[in-house]
Amino acid sequence: MLKNFVVRDGDKEDVQVGTFSYDSTANQFAMTINKDIPVADLPLSLEGFANKNKYILSHSETLRWVRGRVCPPGRHNMRDILKENGLKTYDEFSLLMLHDAKCGMDGLYLEAVDEMKRAE
């Protein structure tokens, strides 16, 4: 099942900086960066890609971005974290969605496309 999201920057008045998708059947991630946003206005986690004129990220590049936003699987209290959040196994997407991809590095977060349609 394909899940689609808009990537927004809460530090920049919730502007849409890209899109994010996750295919749960194939366990594949994908991400795009909005070319209309000046590179200097992108958060560091995306600026490096845009500096290389890379606006469509592969699964591995997107997975690297995801892993930068969730606890690593080897964290010493990972079992407790999973249990506290009702997860039986380590899963990057599930961990990412616990907090809509928010982290302390920047103001980025994910907004489900379906939720956007319901709000309109």
pLDDT tens profile 24-58: 999 999 999 999 999 999 999 999 999 999 999 99
The phi-psi region of residue 90 (left if phi > 0; otherwise alpha if psi is between -120 and 50; otherwise beta) is beta
∠ at Cα 27 (21, 30), nearest 5°? 30
Which tokens hold the place of 35?
Answer: 């070319």
Which of helix, strand or coil describes residue 3? strand
- The domains of the chain are located at 2-119
| Full-model pTM | 0.89
| Helix axes of 44-51 and 59-67: crossing angle, nearest 10 degrees | 150
* E strand residue ranges, 75-114: 108-112
The residue type found at 92 is E
Low-confidence ranges of the chain (pLDDT < 70): 115-120
**pLDDT for res 117:** 52
The mean pLDDT value of the chain amounts to 93
